[in-house]
């Protein structure tokens, strides 16, 4: 019999179709049930990694802290669920408030809920936890006893700070060397304060420093103030987390004009308070997140009418001068254009950031390529010659006869970043970066480790994840241990044994005596298999029909219009309330882990599946199977929404 449905129901309140278009045979469920016992297969409970965690570069146990927020996994008796979720989240990433705001959330792209109606708003819940932790003054715990080892961390950005945090948790002290006046790296100097509020940023940095035995030396550049040899002679290990602070110039004739600046330096000048107004006509070449920040800042700053050459914005960006606060009162709106090589749907910038920029009055030109910077007689850029292009084999190909010109007073290049290794040539791999092996050691340099953009520019969360692994490698280096092979799914996983230990349900000690009939013995965790280190559970393994259509709890936004944007520096994101955060966490499908829905208990025709006694129950051990009753009908596996049950025991 053919399926009676002929249209896609996604987005119309329905979430699941049993049969795809073209299917015409109803399966005989009765036969499957009554013949199933011939397979001798019985259910076993298998823990796998959900795709959100598999997609998270910092490897957060996302499903775990969402389970806590929604009330499935219970906190210890002396701890609130908010603190428990915060601590689970920050096991991998000490910046939930910052990442909840600015991370482009690859976890949400990977979320299996996309196959139902829409992803879970993971970083909205993460922001709630981070802001709640700040408001309540939550602190990080650190061991009182130190190893006696101290690590030199070069760079106080997300990678360096995350490394200091993870090392301190392992009992190692550190000294952070930072070239700028303050810590934070790209979170402070690369992202505008209306996206990463400085009060929240400072709170998360201070929480790390308050762990103790983390020394900070600001305004210090290695290779200028301190040599690499001095580091090696003073510290037990060195972690390079210098980031990529150098922007790439436009690779076209005239691209070195004085009023052609990099996006990185433009944003740094703004974030340090030196750049208070921009130019009348600003053209930014890019298409990524940095370029969106540039044009949004330029629209907010506006310009002033002045004939004083010393007030030109490029002089501020290059560090030759700073603008007077009095200029702000006279500023007017700026014409800001963003050009992108890719079409809008292929831009690397987050879609909502692109939408916000358009609302703020930025003009975006897609599928265009700069070919020349047009110069005045005194060598300043006055225009940008562009051409429409198409991508052929991944390379832009200009379209003949499509040239046009954009007038400009300031050109900002946001086409990529590189490292600034002046004075550190001994670390340079020849491309302005530092090499790393699989354990984030610098090849051929024992005691030297590396993390963050200086390996390859990527996301903030990537730098944080690399710092975590580098910290493990440093710990093993100090202990003289051989590096362990990294797991295939290299993230922070839920650990059932730790949970049982926390709940005082740890298995009894094994007496190592051979016995028969050990299914009820208390010295082992029975019928459970942990495959989380090498398997990610796919939507095909879930029973999606269990999940009702549930709209996402979206954060509010205060995005100014083109008429309101001048001088608008208020935070754009309005965080979720506690009720909304809990509601959003409940949309998590708990892929790869039981979330106590009772389907397997209710639908088992033999009453073989049963709930574990409340005194012995915890996350991951909510149900069990009486194998003297089980006939291998596999209904429990069919109706398990999370893919937690496999029919395999007994093979």
For the stretch 227-253, pLDDT in tens is 999 999 999 999 999 999 888 999 999
Q: Using CA atoms, how far apart are residues 295 and 462, in angstroms rounded to an integer?
A: 25
Please, where in the chain does CATH 3.50.50.60 lie? 150-245+419-479, 247-417
Please identify, in words, the CATH class of the domain defined by 247-417.
alpha beta
The sign of the dihedral angle between the CA atoms of 587, 588, 592, 596 is negative
Percent of the residues in the chain that have a pLDDT greater than 70, as a whole number: 93
The sign of the dihedral angle between the CA atoms of 150, 155, 160, 165 is positive
Total Cβ atoms within 10 A of residue 502? 15
For the stretch 497-512, pLDDT in tens is 999 998 898 888 888 8
* First-last CA distance in the chain: 34
Mean pLDDT of 531-559: 94
Question: Which architecture, in CATH terms, is 150-245+419-479?
Answer: 3-Layer(bba) Sandwich (3.50)
Predicted pLDDT of residue 3: 36
For the stretch 267-280, pLDDT in tens is 999 999 999 999 99
pTM of the model: 0.92
Q: Using CA atoms, how far apart are residues 99 and 56, in angstroms rounded to an integer?
A: 11
Contact 384, 283 (CB under 8 A): yes
Predicted pLDDT of residue 532: 96
Predicted pLDDT of residue 19: 56
Tokens of residue 428, six digits: 């340079």
Q: Using CA atoms, how far apart are residues 313 and 266, in angstroms rounded to an integer?
A: 9
Tokens of residue 114, six digits: 């996309």
Total Cβ atoms within 10 A of residue 388? 17
DSSP string, 463-488: HHHHHHHHHHHHHHHHHTPPPPPPPS
Q: Are strands 173-177 and 214-217 parallel, antiparallel or unpaired?
A: parallel
**Per-residue b or e along 241-256, where b marks 16 or more CB atoms closer than 10 Å to that residue's CB:** bbbbbbbbbbebebbe
């Amino acid at each position: 019999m053919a399926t009676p449905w002929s249209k896609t129901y996604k987005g119309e309140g329905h979430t699941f179709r049993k049969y795809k278009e073209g299917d015409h045979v109803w399966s005989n469920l009765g036969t499957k049930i009554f013949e199933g016992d011939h397979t001798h297969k019985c259910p076993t409970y298998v823990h796998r990694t959900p795709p959100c965690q598999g997609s998270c570069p910092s490897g957060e146990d996302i499903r775990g802290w969402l389970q806590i927020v929604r009330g499935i996994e219970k906190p210890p008796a002396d701890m609130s669920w908010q603190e428990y979720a915060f601590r689970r989240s920050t096991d991998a990433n000490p910046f939930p408030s910052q990442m909840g705001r600015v991370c482009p959330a690859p976890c949400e792209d990977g979320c299996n809920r996309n196959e139902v109606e829409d992803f879970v708003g993971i970083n909205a819940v993460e922001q709630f936890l981070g802001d709640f932790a700040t408001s309540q003054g939550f602190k990080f715990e650190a061991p009182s006893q130190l190893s006696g080892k101290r690590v030199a961390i070069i760079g106080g950005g997300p990678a360096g700070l995350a490394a200091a945090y993870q090392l301190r948790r392992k009992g190692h002290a550190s000294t952070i060397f930072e070239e700028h006046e303050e810590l934070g790296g790209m979170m402070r100097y690369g992202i505008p304060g209306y996206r990463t509020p400085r009060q929240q940023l400072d709170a998360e940095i201070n929480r790390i420093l308050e762990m103790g035995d983390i020394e900070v030396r600001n305004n210090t550049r290695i290779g200028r103030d301190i040599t690499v040899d001095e580091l090696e002679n003073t510290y037990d290990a060195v972690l390079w987390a210098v980031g990529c602070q150098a922007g790439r110039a436009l690779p076209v004739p005239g691209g070195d004009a004085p009023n052609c600046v990099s996006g990185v330096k433009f944003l740094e000048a703004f974030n340090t308070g030196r750049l208070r107004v921009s130019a009348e006509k600003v053209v930014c070449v890019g298409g990524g997140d940095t370029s969106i920040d540039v044009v949004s800042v330029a629209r907010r700053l506006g310009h002033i009418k002045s004939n004083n050459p010393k007030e030109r914005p490029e002089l501020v960006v290059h560090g030759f001068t700073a603008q007077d606060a009095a200029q702000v009162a006279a500023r007017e709106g700026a014409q800001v254009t963003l050009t992108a090589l890719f079409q809008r749907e292929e831009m690397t910038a987050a879609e909502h950031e692109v939408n916000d920029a358009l609302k703020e009055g930025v003009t975006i030109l897609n599928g265009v390529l700069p070919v020349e910077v047009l110069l005045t007689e005194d060598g300043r850029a006055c225009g940008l010659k562009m051409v429409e292009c198409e991508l052929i084999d991944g390379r832009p190909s200009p379209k003949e006869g499509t040239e046009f010109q954009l007038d400009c007073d300031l050109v900002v290049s946001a086409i990529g970043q590189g490292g600034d290794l002046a004075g550190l040539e001994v670390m340079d791999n020849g491309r302005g970066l530092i090499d790393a092996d699989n354990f984030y050691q610098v090849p051929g340099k024992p005691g030297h480790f590396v993390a963050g953009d200086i390996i390859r520019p990527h996301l903030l969360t990537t730098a944080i994840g690399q710092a975590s692994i580098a910290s493990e490698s440093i710990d093993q280096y100090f202990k003289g241990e051989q590096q362990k092979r990294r797991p295939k799914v290299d993230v922070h996983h839920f650990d059932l044994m730790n949970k049982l230990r926390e709940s005082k349900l740890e298995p009894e000690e094994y007496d190592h005596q051979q016995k028969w009939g050990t299914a009820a013995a208390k010295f082992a965790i029975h019928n459970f298999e942990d495959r989380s280190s090498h398997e990610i559970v796919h939507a095909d393994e879930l029973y999606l029909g269990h999940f009702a259509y549930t709209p996402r709890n979206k954060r509010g936004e205060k995005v100014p219009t083109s008429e309101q944007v001048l001088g608008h520096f208020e935070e754009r994101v309005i965080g979720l309330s506690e009720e909304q955060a809990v509601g959003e966490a409940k949309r998590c499908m708990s892929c790869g882990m039981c979330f106590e829905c009772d389907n397997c208990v209710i639908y088992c025709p033999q009453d073989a599946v049963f709930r574990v006694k409340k005194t012995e129950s915890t996350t991951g051990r909510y149900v069990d199977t009486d194998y003297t009753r089980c006939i291998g009908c596999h209904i429990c596996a069919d109706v398990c929404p999370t893919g937690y049950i496999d029919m395999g025991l007994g093979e």
